[in-house]
Structure 1
Amino acid sequence: MGAGWAWVVMAALAASPGPKVVSPLVKVRPGVTLKGSTEAQLSLARGECEGTQVVLPGNVRQVTAKPLTLKGPGSALSASLWREGFIEVKTPSNSMGAKGFWPDPLLPVNVPGDPKLPAVLYVEVCAPTEQKPGTYRGELSVKADDGAVAPVPFTVEVQPFALPATSSLPTSFGISLYSIARGHKLAPESPEAMTLLRAYGKALLQHRLSAYGMSMNAPPVRFEDGRAVVDFSAYDEEMAPFFEGTALPSGARFTTADVRDSSQCKTEQEKVAYYRAFAEHFRSKGWSAQLFFYAKDEPKPEEMALVRTQASRVKAAGKDIPVLVTSALHDGIQSSADILAPTLNCFFPRWELETCPNVVPLSKLRSKLRSGTRVWWYQSCNSHGCTGGPAEDPAVERAYTGWASYMVDHPAPLNRSMGPLAFLTGVDGELYFDTVYAYNTQDPWQGVFEFGGNGDGTLFYPGTPERLGTKEPQPVVSLRLKHIRDGLEDYEYLHLLARLGDAEPARAFARRLARSGYEIEQNVATWEQVRHNLTAQLRKRWDASEYAKRPGVRR
Structure 2
Amino acid sequence: MGVVGWAWAVAVLSAAPGGPTVVSPLVKVRPDATPKGAAQARLSVARGECEATQVVLPRGVTRVTMKPLALKGPGAPLTVDAWREAYLDVKTPSNGQGKTGPWPDALVPLSAPGNPQHPTVVYVEVCVPLKQAAGTYTGSLSAAADGKDLPAVPFTVEVQPFEIPATSSLPNSFGISLYSIAKGHGIAADSAEAKALLRAYGKALLEHRVSAHGMGMDPPPVKFQDGRAVLDWTAYDAELGPFLDGSLLPSGARFTTTDVRDNKKASTDAEKTAYYRAFQQHFADKGWPTQLFFYAKDEPKPEDVPLVKAQSQRVRAAGRIPVLVTSPLDPALQGSADILTPTLNCFYPREGPQTCRAVANTATVRTRLPPRAKVWWYQSCNSHGCTGGPPPDAALDRAYSDWASYMVDAPAPLNRAMGVLAFSSGVDGELYFDTVFAYNTKKDVWTDLFEFGGNGDGTLFYPGTPAKLGGSEHQPVLSLRLKHLRDGLEDYEYLRLLTTLGDGDFARAAAKRLARSGHEITRDPAEWEQVRQEVTARLVKRQASEQAKRSGRRTSGGTP
Q: TM-score, with normalisation over the residues of structure 2?
A: 0.96
Secondary structure of residue in 1 paired with 2:457: coil
Report the equivalent of 1:266.
267
1:377 partner letter: W
Does 2:386 align with 1:363?
Answer: no
Report the equivalent of 1:381.
381
Question: Aligned-pair distance for 1:17?
Answer: 1.7
1:548/1:21 Cα in 2 relative to 1: closer, same or farther (>3 Å)? Answer: farther
Report the equivalent of 1:254.
255
Report the equivalent of 2:347.
347
Report the equivalent of 1:541.
542
CA distance in 1, matches of 2:59, 2:34: 14
Report the equivalent of 1:214.
215
Question: Aligned-pair distance for 1:420?
Answer: 0.3
1:220/1:40 Cα in 2 relative to 1: closer, same or farther (>3 Å)? Answer: same
Secondary structure of residue in 2 paired with 1:332: helix
Question: Aligned-pair distance for 1:372?
Answer: 1.1
CA distance in 1, matches of 2:7, 2:292: 41
CA distance in 2, matches of 1:22, 1:351: 36
CA contact (8 A) 1:8 1:23 kept: no
Report the equivalent of 2:558.
none
CA distance in 1, matches of 2:55, 2:21: 6
Secondary structure of residue in 2 paired with 1:114: coil
Report the equivalent of 1:418.
418
Q: Report which stretch shifted further, 464-473 or 40-49.
A: 464-473
CA distance in 2, matches of 1:98, 1:267: 52
Q: Give 1:360-509 correspondences, 5 Å limit.
A: 360-441=360-441, 442-509=443-510
Report the equivalent of 1:110.
111
CA distance in 1, matches of 2:26, 2:35: 12
Report the equivalent of 2:276.
275
CA contact (8 A) 2:16 2:39 kept: no
Report the equivalent of 2:93.
92
Secondary structure of residue in 2 paired with 1:544: helix
Q: Deviations over 1:123-169 (max 9, x none)?
A: 00011000000000010000100210100000100000000000000
Secondary structure of residue in 2 paired with 1:9: helix
Report the equivalent of 2:8.
9
Secondary structure of residue in 1 paired with 2:8: coil
CA distance in 1, matches of 2:518, 2:351: 14
CA contact (8 A) 1:461 1:478 kept: yes
CA contact (8 A) 1:324 1:341 kept: yes
Report the equivalent of 1:553.
none
CA contact (8 A) 1:5 1:486 kept: no
CA contact (8 A) 1:347 1:361 kept: yes
Question: Aligned-pair distance for 1:202?
Answer: 0.2
1:397 partner letter: D
Question: Aligned-pair distance for 1:549?
Answer: 5.5
CA contact (8 A) 2:5 2:42 kept: yes
Report the equivalent of 2:158.
157
Question: Aligned-pair distance for 1:470?
Answer: 2.3
Q: Deviations over 1:354-377 (max 9, x none)?
A: 101111111111111121110000
Question: Aligned-pair distance for 1:14?
Answer: 7.2
Question: Aligned-pair distance for 1:9?
Answer: 2.9
Report the equivalent of 1:245.
246
CA distance in 2, matches of 1:5, 1:388: 32
Q: Deviations over 1:516-545 (max 9, x none)?
A: 000011111100100111110011111111
Q: Deviations over 1:453-475 (max 9, x none)?
A: 00000000000011111221000
CA distance in 2, matches of 1:226, 1:473: 44
Which blocks of at least 5 consecutive residues in structure 1 are unaligned? 551-555
Which blocks of at least 5 consecutive residues in structure 2 are unaligned? 552-560
Question: Aligned-pair distance for 1:5?
Answer: 2.9
Does 2:189 align with 1:183?
Answer: no
CA distance in 2, matches of 1:357, 1:370: 21
CA distance in 1, matches of 2:444, 2:72: 42
CA distance in 2, matches of 1:547, 1:368: 44
CA contact (8 A) 1:7 1:23 kept: no
Question: Aligned-pair distance for 1:115?
Answer: 0.9
CA distance in 1, matches of 2:169, 2:516: 21
CA distance in 2, matches of 1:309, 1:117: 54
Identical columns (%) = 64
CA contact (8 A) 1:325 1:340 kept: yes
Q: Give 1:13-52 correspondences, 5 Å limit.
A: 13=14, 16-52=17-53
Aligned residues: 548
1:547/1:367 Cα in 2 relative to 1: closer, same or farther (>3 Å)? Answer: farther
Report the equivalent of 2:555.
none
2:496 partner letter: H
Q: Deviations over 1:20-49 (max 9, x none)?
A: 000000001102121100000000000000
Secondary structure of residue in 1 paired with 2:528: helix
Question: Aligned-pair distance for 1:15?
Answer: 7.0
CA contact (8 A) 1:25 1:412 kept: yes
CA distance in 2, matches of 1:120, 1:195: 30
CA distance in 2, matches of 1:460, 1:119: 20
Q: Report which stretch shifted further, 465-474 or 74-83.
A: 465-474
